Chain A
Amino acid sequence: MTSSVEEAITEAGGDPKTFTEAAHVTETKLPDADVTADVVVIGSGASSFMSAITAAKAGSKVVVLEKAGNLAAVNGVKVSGPFAVNTPVLRERGTTLTVNEVFQHVMNYTHWEPKSALIRNYLEHRVKRLKTYWRSVTNLRKQTSVLKLLSSMKRAASI
């Protein structure tokens, strides 16, 4: 389309660049935006989404800035199930893996390298109100498979 217009302009003796460059700018550029919020989140992946929704539920006005053109492009909608302990969905399914068990395993594995209180905080964090989210993650890691993996890791380490 653009090239045929360019040809027509050239044939008429004009400079096609003045048209195409102008057309490009007027077609795509949006006006500047200046907004006010309580919380601004950079990114819209898994952690950003949870940040935004949590802050909004707590009563804050939240704005999200995402580099991609839409949500289908972000990592958070593509990756498989998250690991979690003590979520409503897991409890409903009768699993009993505890924060203590997981925390001790993780800290032994890492020799306490990451920030322990932050790991503990993440594992303990109450997610009662996020039932919808947990239900959306259909393959939430089952306790049995995690326990089996952990025991096989112990075997591997003792070889």
Chain B
Amino acid sequence: MAIKRWNILSAIKTRMETISVANGYYSAVGSNVFLMRNTPFQDAELPALNIYREENEVDTEFITNEQSLTDFALTVVIDVVCKSGTTTLQSVEEIIADVYKAISTDDKWSTYAHTTDTISDKVVIVEQVGDTGVNKVVGGATIRIKVYYRTTKWLES
């Protein structure tokens, strides 16, 4: 039986891979989308998205009298890393806009979720680390979303 959380994460990755200029987005970040990657990125791989999940909380907002169901709110983080240069900040903002636009095409992720909400986004620019310079200034962002879904109690269906 398919694992719903995994289906959601996979659907998010697949959707993000559609981000390209040809598809009407600002960026082509869709060619470098990763799931739960924890190895360093190389310059040639940028811009890139890295998707991972945080907490999967029981969601009390949609409580029903149906005792056989459990509602969850899965926090998903989409990290953005951008190529360096004087347009880094603009590129980061464009990719954030692209991610939101991609989510908007179907925030139910086919039939896996009720809906998806934005939690926050935060931009980071790194120009120095400790006492060393950073040869290629790097920019990025962290986007947090919450995906609401339901399963049969204790099961994945």
Whether both chains belong to one complex is answered with: no
